[in-house]
Structure formats: C-alpha cells, structure tokens
Amino acid sequence: MPSQRYRASFVHPHDSARRVAAPITFTHKGDAEHWLRLQQIAIERGEWLSPEEVEARRPQLLTLQEVYERFLTQRPRPLALSTKTAYEQDWRLRIVPHWGAERNIKTITHDEVWQWRKGPLGAERRRDRSTLALFNELLTKASHWGWIEKNPATGVSIPRKTKPMEQRHVFDLGDVRRYLEAAEPHHVAMLATVALGGLRSGEVRGLRRMDLDFEKRRILVDIVQVGDQWRLAGGQSGTVESCES
C-alpha cells in the first residue's frame, strides 16, 4: 500500500471464488502474517466464522429509550390519558434520571435494580411502586421481544401498604349524603359527580356546560384537565349515566 501499511486476505474456505479480507490494515508485515495464521488455525479447528456470521453474532445496543417507545406504540388499545400521563412522569422524573435513556438494557443487572429499589426509589415514598411496576413491565416486554434473555427486575417489589380490613371505611349512600350536605355549596355538584358518577378528578375539572345532557340524563366526557393543560379524553366521548337514589 502507498501508506506503507499491509493488507491481509485469504481464500474463503467454503467459496474459492471469494477472498476474506482482514477488517483492518497492519503497520508491520509480521502482524498481517500473524492474523493469517490465526485464521488458518480457526479453520482447521472448525471454529472459523465468516464476517457475516461475526456481524450477526455481535451484540446489538438496545436502549431503555427504544424499549419505552416501542412499549407505548405497540399496545392493543390506546392508553387512557391519565395512565399515559403517569407513565410519562415516572419515565421522565424517576427512571431516566437514574438509569439514563441510552442505557443498554443488556447491561442491567438484578442487583442494580434491587439497589435502586432500596436506595433512590425507596426514598421517593410517592409513586415508587408505580415507577418500579413500569420499569418491570418495560423489561418484561424486552424479554418477550427477545431483546434480553430474562427480566433483571423479576422478584424486586415494593409491598403495598394497606390498612387492615377493620380499619377501612366504605361510604354508603347515607355517608355520601352527609358528606355533600357538609360541603361548600359550590363544590356539591362536582363532589356528587365524583361520588355517584365515578368520574376522575381531571374529567370533572374538564366538564363544560355543553357536556351536561339533562334530557338523556348523562354527562359527556370529551376533555380532561391535566395540570394547566386541556386534552382530549382518549379521542372519543365517555358517557356516565345519571345515578339516582
């Protein structure tokens, strides 16, 4: 070569019409000859791999960001707005700051997940369970897709803090009436809609006068308020039939 470097190549062991070239050039002739000897030894032992086989076996860099994006797009049905918002917050505020969006999922270990659960995530005490559940689901999907051999988050969990049954209180209609009677007058309609209609807080805050159908005794849910933003509720109307007592 004009650059005073050496190339090395040999006849393909399975196709005499082809030559296999070294992936690099060599500064010294001896280095090129040494590479050729290594290839000959591999061929004699039956261990030689063609450049195409080497490329196929090379580990692919698959990132958490790629898993998250595919997880959101490949779903049997669209996510509810509130669920999608919760996922976005857990991803942006808790998963990415710790793991990094470009983290290679094949390098994540069970011990790392456990240390995250005991340390930074455990210190959250708010949405820690939902964040770990999302992270676990992402890695479960990656395992199903064949991107990783097994889910390193398997077995890592945060126990749900629940009250004993005897300490729980379920509101009956009498409780609801007393609750509404004690509420401020301008809050009664909203609270009654939540208690009797099953609407979520964002759906109630997004209601407009045109959404109240008094003739058919129903409420149309088209818009949801999330923070200071107004968004369509899943792209279609939800209907809540009136409740009577």
Do 76 and 138 have their domain in common? yes
Do 233 and 181 have their domain in common? yes
Domain encompassing residue 140: 64-144
In a domain, 160, yes or no: no
In a domain, 203, yes or no: yes
Structure tokens at 229: 């933003």
In a domain, 159, yes or no: no
Query: How many domains is the chain built from?
Result: 3
Do 34 and 96 have their domain in common? no
- What's the confidence (pLDDT) of residue 2? 57
Structure tokens at 155: 């077995």
Model pLDDT for residues 116-142, shown as the tens digit of each residue: 988 888 777 778 888 999 999 999 999
Domain boundary among 19, 41, 57: 57
Q: How far apart are CA 100 and CA 18, in angstroms?
A: 44
Walk along the chain (245 residues) and give the pLDDT tens digit of each residue: 556 788 999 999 999 999 999 988 888 888 889 999 999 999 999 999 998 887 777 667 889 999 999 998 887 777 777 888 889 999 999 999 999 999 999 999 999 999 998 888 877 777 888 899 999 999 999 999 888 989 999 988 876 666 666 666 777 888 888 888 888 888 887 788 777 777 776 777 777 777 777 788 777 777 665 555 555 555 433 443 433 33
Q: How far apart are CA 132 and CA 112, in angstroms?
A: 13
- What's the confidence (pLDDT) of residue 143? 92
Structure tokens at 129: 């369970």
Burial class (CB in 10 A: 0-12, 13-18, 19+), 156: buried
In a domain, 157, yes or no: no
Do 39 and 82 have their domain in common? no
Do 90 and 20 have their domain in common? no
In a domain, 167, yes or no: no
- What's the confidence (pLDDT) of residue 167? 66
- What's the confidence (pLDDT) of residue 236? 39
Angle, vertex CA 214, rays to CA 212 and CA 215, nearest 5: 130
Do 35 and 88 have their domain in common? no
Domain boundary among 144, 162, 190: 144
Contact 210, 234 (CB under 8 A): no
Residues 6+ apart with CB under 8 A from 180: 188, 191, 192, 195
Contact 179, 194 (CB under 8 A): no
